[in-house]
Amino acid sequence: MNRKTPIFIILVVFLMVVGQAMANGTLESAQKYFDAGEFKKAVGLLKKITREAPSNITAWILLGNSYTGLQKNKNAIEAYEKALRIDSENEDALFGLGINYSRMRQHSNAIEAYKKIIEINPKNAEAYFELGVSYDRTNHLTYAFEQYKILKTLDEDLARKLYHIILGS
């Protein structure tokens, strides 16, 4: 090994650390834009981050959330699917996927996303609620009421809300 090799290794490690710090700073900026409702600005930053760091699951989920805020459902679904390629059991990505499929009236896909969340986390009240709503929208009232019964043990307010949706009141 010549004398240049250790310097090269140190330089590469330094650039990786600096690059990650810059990505984190940019990710924080994107989060601030998202929190302020400036979804287009968040998307711009997040596209750059995901190009530079394609395994950054946080960036993919925030990109999906930003597209959801812009009501660009197909783009949001793509972002969540990329996040799920990194972690197939990420509840946030699955939930975002379900919400966007519901918006597109692809309720069977939404149902699958919510079922997977419940499989991962049987105490996720929001997933039971959205699953019940999806069943209601597909006229599977028996299944919707099953979700209501389970939801009553987890979150009475959400259960009450689901009950009113199922009854149409």
Residue 83 sits in the same domain as residue 97: no
Q: What CATH number is given to the structural domain containing 48?
A: 1.25.40.10
Tens of pLDDT along 113-144? 999 999 999 999 999 999 999 999 999 999 99
Tens of pLDDT along 41-81? 999 999 999 999 999 999 999 999 999 999 999 999 999 99
For residue 13, the enclosing domain spans: 1-87
Residue 35 sits in the same domain as residue 49: yes
Residue matched to tokens 């379900």 = 98
The whole-number pLDDT of residue 30 equals 95
CA distances from 35 to 57, 65, 141 (A): 18, 11, 36
Residue 72 sits in the same domain as residue 107: no
Residue 119 sits in the same domain as residue 153: yes
Residue 19 sits in the same domain as residue 74: yes
Residue 63 sits in the same domain as residue 99: no
**Of residues 62, 117, 128, the one with CA closest to residue 95:** 117
Which is more confident, 7 or 132?
132
